[in-house]
Homo-oligomer: A and B are copies of this chain.
């Protein structure tokens, strides 16, 4: 599990020539950090106006962000696991016709899983970005730079996940699925600008 390793170990793993972990896990990590910073700002003893309205808005944001952060953190490992399956599928034997068919099917299954993980990261990053507006409006003004950093990281995570969806989607032969994903990607990426 990447998330159980130390930060230095994880950085070394990203820098190694091994195919995983790669950009997909890095994008999920960026968004996890962004969501975590928003939870921190919402948890500060002081709020924008120290009003009940502030506290209610921040409590709602925290409830949503806690779920999103957990999903994004799980995606750090899930993206690497899914891409390892893609690499494994491409290495299947392809001498006989039966082997060729089994390999092609395994590649399609693996590519779909490796698309679904960054697509989830896009969705959860977009939802976390929605809460960033509320956290910025109701959170302690002194923490506004933390909200700004969180927003930059969530946008980078969303964009990084988009690049990974696009990279895997190119190999998927199910046109209905590919078209549905493309449409959703466009909506999610457009909403984050």
- 9 interchain residue pairs of minimum CB distance: A23-B149, A156-B156, A14-B36, A149-B160, A17-B43, A15-B36, A152-B156, A15-B39, A145-B163
Give chain B nearest CB distance to A117 CB in angstroms.
14
Excluding A11-B36, A23-B150, 4 further A-B contacts by CB distance (< 8 Å) are A14-B40, A17-B43, A23-B146, A30-B152
Closest chain B residue to A20, Cβ basis: B40
When the two chains form the complex, which single residue of B2, B6, B37, B43 contacts A5, counting CB atoms closer than 8 Å? B6
When the two chains form the complex, which single residue of B34, B37, B39, B156 contacts A22, counting CB atoms closer than 8 Å? B37
A166 within 8 A of partner (CB): yes
Residues of B within 8 A of A16 (CB): 40, 43
A69 to B11, CA, bound (A): 9
Give chain B nearest CB distance to A142 CB in angstroms.
8
Q: A33-B30, A149-B164 are in contact. Are A40 and B22 (CB under 8 A)?
A: yes
Closest chain B residue to A44, Cβ basis: B17
A143 to B145, CA, bound (A): 33
When the two chains form the complex, which single residue of B8, B45, B153 contacts A26, counting CB atoms closer than 8 Å? B153
Residues of B within 8 A of A2 (CB): 7
Residues of B within 8 A of A146 (CB): 22-23
Residues of B within 8 A of A32 (CB): 11
